[in-house]
Amino acid sequence: MEQHSHLHFLQDTSEILAALTGSRDLDGFLTRLVKLVARHLDADVCSIYLLEAESQQLVLRATTGLNAEAIGKVRMQVGEGLVGTALKELRPICESCASHHPAFRYFPGTDEERYEAFLAVPILRGIEKVGVLVVQREQSRAFVPEDVAALRVVTAQLAGTVEQARALMLAENGAQELPAAPREPLPPFLRGEPGAPGCAAGQALRYDRRFSLAQDVMPDLPVDGSADGRQLIEKAIERTEAQLRRMQEELGQRLPEAAALIFEAHLMMLHDRGFVDGMFTRVAAGASAAGAVAEVARSYMQRFQRSTHDYLREKAQDVEDLALRLITNLAAAESVDTLPLAGRIVIARDVLPSDMLKLALENVAGVVLTSGGVTSHVAILARSLGVPMIIAHNPRLAEINDDTDLMVDADSGNLYINPSNEVTERYRQREKVRAAAESAAEVKPETLTADGRQIHLLANINLLSELDLALRMQCEGVGLYRSEFPFLIRTTLPDSAEQQAIYLRLLERMAGRPVTIRTLDAGGDKMLSFFDEAGEENPELGLRSVRFTLRHPDIMEQQLKAILEAGAQSSAHLGIMFPMVSSLDEFRRARAMCMQIADRLEAVNDIPWPPPVGMMIELPAVLETLEAFAAEADFFSIGTNDFVQYMLAVDRTNAQVASYYCPHHPAVLRALARAIGIINKAGKPVTVCGEMAHDMRYVPFFIGAGLSRLSVDPHWLPELQSGIARWSTAQCRQYTAALLKQDTIEATAALLRSEN
């Protein structure tokens, strides 16, 4: 068949619609359709197999070219024969000699013996399996790629048309509706990516299907009938305030960065007379207590949502959260102590850092995110909070109902659905072994290669709560303290005194060790709720990191003042680092601001002053002027996550292009080796602090390139130390040289696999 005929067929769908409207029943429509497809593809045979709802078998429903008596009689399981295999594997199967294929199965009575050229394409509606469309010819006229492409387009249109045919024919002639093929039962597990390590079991709870005032989905709870509405509201306010203050106290102990921040807006609203009196007025007019709370909350939400300011629109979420807690607390006191999230595996499309803090405080067992990436800020926060998390871009997650038993294996990325007793017990035993191994782990104070070369291992710290683990794992210092969480989890800018208290605790815990504090890295996927900037079409390439703080020098100055004042009171070896620097001009402006503040302060301890000032290497732009940077910056840290992203123009959180995010791309490896070489030649310290720093496929590469400092999340330190001990310096250099010779991603990947 000529290609232009294919194009005509694909562009003109009117014939398919005509076949639909000219048919009196579904079978008549399918018969017209197979003849239409056979004519346009010049096929001797065209058949449609539909997946039957009750039996979950593929049934021949229409054909032209085969024996018509086989219609309704030929049945096969999904995965059986070439037709069943096409549906099971969700891919076209094209064969010039079908009977030679190992999956071929002959069905007597079809009269298909002489039609060896075979093409089957699955019919799918989203992720729902509908059936298979098959065309056949004599062996001398095999199908070509253009035929496959044409049939794929037809099947894409056909799935919806079959459903439309069922609906129309039901409406027109009152025929009994054919049952729609149900989705296959959920598989025993779904695979995702590990986001935060650990293993957890519990019942599912969809976080995006919580109670909603906007949609009038309210909790159904028993209410004390002996009290009037005003009394109920007053008691609910007391209970709610007690809960919030208790959670605030716990939050302050676990996360000093968030003390007195996250529930600040809720507590203020509870004491706002307009908010509370509005409820009293409504119950006095006859409204129920729950109705009064909901009505007042909705009025506030609507006002905020009408605002042109993003910050005020987001306040509507605070109002809804508080109102739903109040409504829950209208119930008897004994029913409110068990929070609905405790022990659950939460499934959510996305969560904000403040949401993750709330989930951790309410003791969720684990989290399954359906968007984002393993390097996202929320995933980093989950690791810091010890909440097992996986990221699974899988549409079947939408089919998991609340209260389904789940098990999250966030080490491998597996989500088990209704796990068997054997699976549950296996994971319980594994966790016991892991706990015993961790308690018995011997982490040496020095990390040495097989030939005795020292590699310095430092810790990436997101929250002060991670310092205990970092010290227990014998980290030599903090190579990266991400300072943005106090900014991200609150609704107002933290002042210099609040920030200073956090930095001082960090430095005091690390007394005598190096600590590098990275200045505010906001923007991109880390938006500040209190900063009302106009929306950016591409925030990853927008006003973020040092660009943001240089645009708003008051924020930069307050943070630098807090860091320097904390440093002047501590014996830790402080270093200050600027993120996402793209030019020497930016670095000079930021460093000058730091030096001006340092000059105004007096260091009261016998410590180096002013502290060293360095920069992150995250943008490929700095490579061509790196010698100039090396002459001025005191130290460097390579953030491989962003470096790879910007080097390859790949959004690392976008599942559609995830396969293009290749740290082993030859250009990436050569650029990293070049950067390390230039910095070493200048005699300046350089550290790698991204995800590549704990991956033993790349660690020998870095050592062979001349690197001697790695900074990783604390839980990676024991594994990293033992992995480094297996390599000698000579082996690392040979490995690095071999990798740098490769010109293709495939060749580099093959070498990575063979060496590790």
pLDDT tens digits along 381-391:
788 788 999 98
Quick one: tokens of 584? 């020497």
The span from the CA of 331 to the CA of 36, in Å, is 64
pLDDT higher than threshold 70 for residue 474: yes
The span from the CA of 221 to the CA of 199, in Å, is 32
Cis peptide before 610 (omega within 30 of 0): yes
Check if 4 is active-site. Answer: no
Q: Indicate the pLDDT class of residue 334, thresholds 50, 70 and 90.
A: very low
Q: Indicate the pLDDT class of residue 528, thresholds 50, 70 and 90.
A: low
Q: Indicate the pLDDT class of residue 212, thresholds 50, 70 and 90.
A: low
Give pLDDT tens digits for 657-685.
778 889 999 999 999 999 999 999 999 99
**Fold of the domain built from segment(s) 441-755:** TIM Barrel (3.20.20)
Average pLDDT value for residue range 726-742 = 96
Among candidate residues 549, 542, 561, the one with its CA nearest the CA of residue 599: 561
Check if 689 is active-site. Answer: yes
Written as one string, the DSSP assignment of 459-509 is EEESSGGGHHHHHHTT--SEEEEETTHHHHTSSS---HHHHHHHHHHHHHH
pLDDT above 70 coverage of the chain, percent? 77
pLDDT higher than threshold 90 for residue 609: no
The span from the CA of 443 to the CA of 459, in Å, is 14
The number of C-alpha atoms within 13 Å of 273 and in the hemisphere containing its C-beta is 0
Bridge partners, residue 416, by sequence: 189, 407
Give pLDDT tens digits for 307-317.
665 556 666 77
pLDDT at 524: 57
Distances (CA, A) of 461 to 193, 375, 507, 510: 22, 14, 12, 12
Of residues 54 and 334, more confidently modeled: 54
pLDDT higher than threshold 80 for residue 733: yes
Give pLDDT tens digits for 237-284.
998 888 888 877 777 676 666 555 556 667 778 888 888 999 999 999
Helix, strand, or coil here: 613? strand
Average pLDDT value for residue range 222-243 = 79
Instruction: Indicate the domain borders of the chain.
Output: 3-173, 189-429, 441-755
User: Which one is catalytic: 6, 40, 377, 665?
Assistant: 377
Give pLDDT tens digits for 91-102.
899 998 988 888
| Of 106-115, 448-457, 650-659, 741-750, minimum mean pLDDT range | 650-659
Q: In CATH, what number does 189-429 get?
A: 3.50.30.10
Give pLDDT tens digits for 56-109.
889 898 999 998 888 888 999 988 999 999 988 888 999 989 888 888 888 888
| Of 27-36, 589-598, 677-686, minimum mean pLDDT range | 27-36
pLDDT higher than threshold 60 for residue 546: yes
pLDDT at 369: 87
The span from the CA of 408 to the CA of 417, in Å, is 9
Pairing of strands 366-369, 345-348: parallel
Q: What is the pTM of this model?
A: 0.57
User: Which one is catalytic: 689, 694, 715, 732?
Assistant: 689
pLDDT higher than threshold 80 for residue 488: no
Give pLDDT tens digits for 157-202.
666 666 555 544 444 444 444 444 445 677 787 888 888 888 888 9
Q: Indicate the pLDDT class of residue 607, thresholds 50, 70 and 90.
A: low
Handedness of CA 613, 617, 622, 625 (dihedral sign): positive
pLDDT higher than threshold 50 for residue 417: yes
Give strand ranges (E) for 315-402: 345-348, 366-369, 389-391
Which residues fall within 8 angstroms of residue 233, CB to CB, at 6 or more apart? 276, 279, 280, 283, 289, 292, 293, 326, 330
pLDDT at 623: 95
Distances (CA, A) of 96 to 40, 140, 145, 254, 599: 19, 8, 12, 66, 80
Compute the mean pLDDT over every residue in the chain, rounded to the nearest whole number: 81
The span from the CA of 49 to the CA of 52, in Å, is 9
Residues 354, 302: contact at Cβ < 8 Å? no
Q: In CATH, what number does 3-173 get?
A: 3.30.450.40
Quick one: tokens of 364? 């969720």
Of residues 176 and 569, more confidently modeled: 569
Alpha helices in 705-755 (DSSP H): 717-724, 729-741, 745-755
The angle formed by the CA atoms of residues 593, 599 and 605, to the nearest 5 degrees, is 125
pLDDT higher than threshold 90 for residue 728: yes
pLDDT at 701: 97
Longest Cα separation, the chain: 97
Q: Indicate the pLDDT class of residue 727, thresholds 50, 70 and 90.
A: very high
